[in-house]
Amino acid sequence: MARPQALFDFADLTNPLLLFAAVDQELLRRCATVHVCEPKVFDAVLRRGLEGAMPFEKLAGLHFFEKLPGPEYRWQLRDSARAEIFESWWAGSDDRQDETQVDGRDSGRQVSTPSAIPPALLELSIRLAEFFAGAGDPLEQLYHLAVAN
């Protein structure tokens, strides 16, 4: 007897992106690329070109964002949400490779890693590097240059 097919994948219940409209999913994907989300980078780079996307104040109120110590409007995605949302840049892409070796030795486990950066992430990383260069943040600039390369 054939097993009935599920209407949805239960793993999707934990995917934070599925709760949002497409424009907000793209915004969250962009937010997952930065270590700290604050209004300047949000307005200048992350939300740019996303008409109808949620404002910073609404984003900061989401349960998977957390306030950082210091200036009032510095937030970040919680690590678990950030990792899952960042991984979504490769969603639907077969451009992945499976690795079983670490330092030339067989690790005994299968790990799927991105083999190429998606073009939209590459473009965003370049814009972020330019933004952080102008903002005088060489560490974030270097990070985004590394992602782009």
More confidently predicted of 96 and 32: 32
CB 68 within 8 A of CB 75: yes
The per-residue pLDDT for 7 is: 52
The per-residue pLDDT for 73 is: 80
The per-residue pLDDT for 82 is: 92
Average pLDDT, integer, range 1-19: 58
> Dihedrals φ, ψ of 75, to 5°?
-130, 165
CB 51 within 8 A of CB 65: no
Give, for 66, the enclosing helix (H) or strand (E). Answer: strand 65-67
Average pLDDT, integer, range 81-92: 88
pLDDT tens, position by position, 37-75: 999 999 999 999 999 999 999 999 999 999 999 867 889
The dihedral over CA atoms of 17, 41, 116, 99, expressed in degrees to the nearest 10, equals -70
State how beta strands 96-102 and 75-77 pair.
unpaired
Average pLDDT, integer, range 27-36: 95
Across 29-33, 66-70, 104-108, the highest mean pLDDT is recorded for 29-33
Distance CA 45, CA 53 (A): 13
Rounded to 5, what percent of the chain is helix, strand, coil?
A: 50, 15, 35
- At residue 99 the predicted structure's pLDDT band, cuts being 50, 70 and 90, is very low
Q: Which residues, including other chains, have CB under 8 Å from residue 87's CB and lie 6 or more apart? A: none
The per-residue pLDDT for 14 is: 60
- pLDDT over 60 at 110, yes or no: no
- At residue 1 the predicted structure's pLDDT band, cuts being 50, 70 and 90, is low
Mean pLDDT of the chain: 81
pTM: 0.76
Angle formed at CA 140 by CA 138 and CA 142, multiple of 5 degrees: 65
